[in-house]
Structure 1
Amino acid sequence: MLQPQTGAPLDLTFQALADPTRRAVVERLSRGPASVSMLAEPLAMTLSAVVQHLAILEASGLVTSEKVGRVRTCRIEPRALDAVERWISERRASWERRFDRLDALLAETDPAPKPLKRGR
Protein backbone atom coordinates (compact mmCIF):
# COMPACT_ATOMS: atom_id res chain seq x y z
CA MET A 1 0.00 0.00 0.00
CA LEU A 2 2.56 2.62 1.03
CA GLN A 3 5.55 0.90 -0.51
CA PRO A 4 7.83 3.26 -2.46
CA GLN A 5 8.21 2.38 -6.10
CA THR A 6 11.62 1.92 -7.62
CA GLY A 7 12.70 4.52 -10.12
CA ALA A 8 14.77 7.59 -10.67
CA PRO A 9 15.45 9.78 -7.63
CA LEU A 10 13.27 12.55 -9.06
CA ASP A 11 10.39 10.08 -9.47
CA LEU A 12 10.77 8.93 -5.87
CA THR A 13 10.76 12.52 -4.66
CA PHE A 14 7.59 13.40 -6.57
CA GLN A 15 5.97 10.16 -5.38
CA ALA A 16 6.82 10.99 -1.79
CA LEU A 17 5.49 14.55 -2.12
CA ALA A 18 2.29 13.41 -3.86
CA ASP A 19 0.74 12.47 -0.53
CA PRO A 20 -0.67 15.28 1.68
CA THR A 21 0.43 13.53 4.89
CA ARG A 22 4.01 13.32 3.70
CA ARG A 23 3.93 16.95 2.57
CA ALA A 24 2.71 17.89 6.06
CA VAL A 25 5.61 15.93 7.60
CA VAL A 26 8.11 17.68 5.30
CA GLU A 27 6.56 21.04 6.18
CA ARG A 28 6.86 20.27 9.90
CA LEU A 29 10.47 19.11 9.52
CA SER A 30 11.33 22.30 7.62
CA ARG A 31 10.98 24.04 11.00
CA GLY A 32 13.44 21.68 12.67
CA PRO A 33 14.08 18.08 13.70
CA ALA A 34 11.29 16.14 15.39
CA SER A 35 10.75 12.72 16.90
CA VAL A 36 8.41 10.28 15.22
CA SER A 37 5.91 10.67 18.05
CA MET A 38 5.99 14.47 17.65
CA LEU A 39 5.35 14.09 13.93
CA ALA A 40 2.49 11.66 14.57
CA GLU A 41 0.79 13.83 17.20
CA PRO A 42 -1.22 16.14 14.88
CA LEU A 43 -1.98 13.40 12.34
CA ALA A 44 -5.16 11.35 12.50
CA MET A 45 -3.43 7.99 12.02
CA THR A 46 -1.58 5.32 13.92
CA LEU A 47 2.08 5.59 14.78
CA SER A 48 2.67 2.60 12.51
CA ALA A 49 1.14 4.46 9.54
CA VAL A 50 3.33 7.49 10.25
CA VAL A 51 6.40 5.23 10.30
CA GLN A 52 5.39 3.88 6.87
CA HIS A 53 5.10 7.42 5.50
CA LEU A 54 8.50 8.25 6.98
CA ALA A 55 10.00 5.19 5.29
CA ILE A 56 8.84 6.53 1.92
CA LEU A 57 10.26 9.97 2.71
CA GLU A 58 13.56 8.37 3.69
CA ALA A 59 13.63 6.21 0.54
CA SER A 60 13.20 9.37 -1.53
CA GLY A 61 16.06 11.05 0.31
CA LEU A 62 13.87 13.90 1.60
CA VAL A 63 14.18 12.84 5.24
CA THR A 64 16.88 11.24 7.33
CA SER A 65 16.45 9.76 10.77
CA GLU A 66 18.62 8.74 13.66
CA LYS A 67 17.74 6.55 16.61
CA VAL A 68 19.20 7.45 19.98
CA GLY A 69 17.98 5.14 22.71
CA ARG A 70 14.24 4.70 22.19
CA VAL A 71 13.74 7.96 20.30
CA ARG A 72 13.96 8.22 16.52
CA THR A 73 14.56 11.80 15.41
CA CYS A 74 13.85 12.86 11.84
CA ARG A 75 15.40 15.70 9.90
CA ILE A 76 14.72 17.14 6.49
CA GLU A 77 17.42 16.77 3.86
CA PRO A 78 17.15 20.09 2.01
CA ARG A 79 19.53 19.08 -0.78
CA ALA A 80 17.05 16.41 -1.84
CA LEU A 81 14.82 19.18 -3.18
CA ASP A 82 17.59 20.54 -5.43
CA ALA A 83 16.74 18.10 -8.22
CA VAL A 84 13.04 19.02 -8.00
CA GLU A 85 13.84 22.72 -8.04
CA ARG A 86 16.17 22.28 -11.02
CA TRP A 87 13.54 20.24 -12.93
CA ILE A 88 10.82 22.84 -12.28
CA SER A 89 13.16 25.71 -13.23
CA GLU A 90 14.02 24.00 -16.51
CA ARG A 91 10.34 23.48 -17.32
CA ARG A 92 9.56 27.11 -16.43
CA ALA A 93 12.41 28.40 -18.61
CA SER A 94 11.24 26.23 -21.50
CA TRP A 95 7.67 27.51 -21.26
CA GLU A 96 8.82 31.12 -20.94
CA ARG A 97 10.88 30.73 -24.15
CA ARG A 98 7.84 29.25 -25.90
CA PHE A 99 5.60 32.09 -24.75
CA ASP A 100 8.21 34.64 -25.86
CA ARG A 101 8.29 33.04 -29.32
CA LEU A 102 4.49 33.04 -29.44
CA ASP A 103 4.41 36.73 -28.44
CA ALA A 104 6.90 37.55 -31.20
CA LEU A 105 4.90 35.57 -33.76
CA LEU A 106 1.65 37.25 -32.75
CA ALA A 107 3.31 40.67 -32.91
CA GLU A 108 4.49 39.92 -36.48
CA THR A 109 1.14 38.66 -37.70
CA ASP A 110 -1.13 41.09 -35.87
CA PRO A 111 -2.28 43.83 -38.22
CA ALA A 112 -1.92 47.34 -36.94
CA PRO A 113 -5.01 48.38 -35.01
CA LYS A 114 -7.37 50.45 -37.15
CA PRO A 115 -8.74 53.67 -35.76
CA LEU A 116 -12.35 53.50 -34.68
CA LYS A 117 -14.77 55.38 -36.93
CA ARG A 118 -16.90 57.88 -35.14
CA GLY A 119 -20.61 58.07 -35.88
CA ARG A 120 -21.63 58.91 -39.44
Structure 2
Amino acid sequence: MIEGFVPTLLVGIVGAFLAEVIRVLPAVRKGKPPRGWDLVASLLQVVLGGGAVLFGWDQEQSALKVAVMGAAFPLLFSAAVDGAKPPSGGHSGRDVAHGERSVADYFAGRF
Protein backbone atom coordinates (compact mmCIF):
# COMPACT_ATOMS: atom_id res chain seq x y z
CA MET A 1 0.00 0.00 0.00
CA ILE A 2 1.24 3.47 -0.84
CA GLU A 3 0.17 6.90 0.26
CA GLY A 4 1.48 10.35 -0.54
CA PHE A 5 2.15 12.52 -3.55
CA VAL A 6 5.65 11.41 -4.52
CA PRO A 7 5.22 7.63 -4.01
CA THR A 8 1.94 7.67 -5.94
CA LEU A 9 3.50 9.68 -8.76
CA LEU A 10 6.55 7.39 -8.98
CA VAL A 11 4.49 4.19 -9.08
CA GLY A 12 2.25 5.74 -11.74
CA ILE A 13 5.28 6.70 -13.82
CA VAL A 14 6.67 3.16 -13.54
CA GLY A 15 3.34 1.74 -14.72
CA ALA A 16 3.17 4.20 -17.63
CA PHE A 17 6.78 3.46 -18.56
CA LEU A 18 6.14 -0.28 -18.68
CA ALA A 19 3.06 0.23 -20.85
CA GLU A 20 5.02 2.49 -23.19
CA VAL A 21 7.82 -0.08 -23.50
CA ILE A 22 5.30 -2.79 -24.35
CA ARG A 23 3.61 -0.49 -26.88
CA VAL A 24 6.91 0.44 -28.59
CA LEU A 25 8.33 -3.10 -28.85
CA PRO A 26 6.66 -3.77 -32.25
CA ALA A 27 8.39 -0.71 -33.72
CA VAL A 28 11.75 -1.87 -32.40
CA ARG A 29 11.17 -5.35 -33.83
CA LYS A 30 10.38 -3.84 -37.25
CA GLY A 31 13.63 -1.88 -37.18
CA LYS A 32 11.93 1.52 -36.74
CA PRO A 33 12.70 2.42 -33.11
CA PRO A 34 11.53 5.75 -31.73
CA ARG A 35 13.82 8.68 -32.45
CA GLY A 36 13.71 12.43 -31.97
CA TRP A 37 10.16 13.66 -31.48
CA ASP A 38 8.95 10.09 -30.97
CA LEU A 39 11.04 9.89 -27.80
CA VAL A 40 9.64 13.22 -26.63
CA ALA A 41 6.12 11.88 -27.29
CA SER A 42 6.91 8.73 -25.26
CA LEU A 43 8.29 10.79 -22.40
CA LEU A 44 5.19 12.99 -22.46
CA GLN A 45 2.92 9.95 -22.26
CA VAL A 46 4.90 8.51 -19.35
CA VAL A 47 4.75 11.78 -17.41
CA LEU A 48 1.04 12.22 -18.11
CA GLY A 49 0.42 8.61 -17.09
CA GLY A 50 2.13 9.35 -13.79
CA GLY A 51 0.07 12.48 -13.37
CA ALA A 52 -3.18 10.70 -14.15
CA VAL A 53 -2.90 8.61 -10.98
CA LEU A 54 -2.69 11.58 -8.65
CA PHE A 55 -6.43 11.69 -8.03
CA GLY A 56 -6.63 10.22 -4.57
CA TRP A 57 -2.95 10.46 -3.66
CA ASP A 58 -3.88 11.47 -0.14
CA GLN A 59 -5.49 8.07 0.54
CA GLU A 60 -3.78 4.74 1.00
CA GLN A 61 -3.97 2.71 -2.25
CA SER A 62 -2.64 -0.52 -3.61
CA ALA A 63 0.60 -0.03 -5.54
CA LEU A 64 -0.62 -2.45 -8.22
CA LYS A 65 -3.80 -0.44 -8.70
CA VAL A 66 -1.81 2.79 -9.10
CA ALA A 67 0.62 1.17 -11.55
CA VAL A 68 -2.24 -0.19 -13.66
CA MET A 69 -3.92 3.22 -13.72
CA GLY A 70 -0.63 4.78 -14.81
CA ALA A 71 -0.24 2.14 -17.51
CA ALA A 72 -3.76 2.72 -18.78
CA PHE A 73 -3.17 6.34 -19.74
CA PRO A 74 -0.66 5.82 -22.60
CA LEU A 75 -2.71 2.95 -23.99
CA LEU A 76 -5.99 4.87 -23.88
CA PHE A 77 -4.38 7.98 -25.34
CA SER A 78 -2.89 5.96 -28.21
CA ALA A 79 -6.26 4.41 -28.96
CA ALA A 80 -7.89 7.85 -28.96
CA VAL A 81 -5.32 9.26 -31.39
CA ASP A 82 -5.61 6.16 -33.57
CA GLY A 83 -9.34 6.64 -33.86
CA ALA A 84 -9.16 10.38 -34.45
CA LYS A 85 -6.47 10.70 -37.10
CA PRO A 86 -6.20 8.85 -40.40
CA PRO A 87 -2.76 7.49 -41.36
CA SER A 88 -0.41 10.13 -42.78
CA GLY A 89 1.05 10.04 -46.26
CA GLY A 90 -2.13 9.02 -48.03
CA HIS A 91 -1.45 5.31 -47.61
CA SER A 92 -4.41 3.02 -47.63
CA GLY A 93 -4.77 0.92 -44.52
CA ARG A 94 -2.62 1.32 -41.45
CA ASP A 95 0.84 0.32 -42.66
CA VAL A 96 3.26 3.23 -42.49
CA ALA A 97 6.32 1.06 -43.09
CA HIS A 98 6.88 2.44 -46.61
CA GLY A 99 6.47 6.13 -45.68
CA GLU A 100 7.59 8.49 -43.00
CA ARG A 101 6.01 8.09 -39.60
CA SER A 102 4.63 11.28 -38.08
CA VAL A 103 4.44 11.90 -34.34
CA ALA A 104 0.67 11.40 -34.55
CA ASP A 105 1.29 8.01 -36.19
CA TYR A 106 3.70 7.20 -33.38
CA PHE A 107 1.17 8.27 -30.74
CA ALA A 108 -1.41 6.07 -32.46
CA GLY A 109 0.91 3.05 -32.47
CA ARG A 110 1.19 2.90 -36.27
CA PHE A 111 4.60 1.39 -36.76
Q: Same-fold call, TM > 0.5?
A: no
Larger radius of gyration: 1
Kindly indicate whether structure 1 or structure 2 has the higher relative contact order, using CA contacts under 8 Å at least 6 residues apart.
2
Q: TM-score range by the shorter chain?
A: under 0.3
- The TM-score with structure 2 as length reference comes to 0.25
- The structure with the greater share of residues assigned to strand is 1
TM-score, normalised with respect to structure 1: 0.24
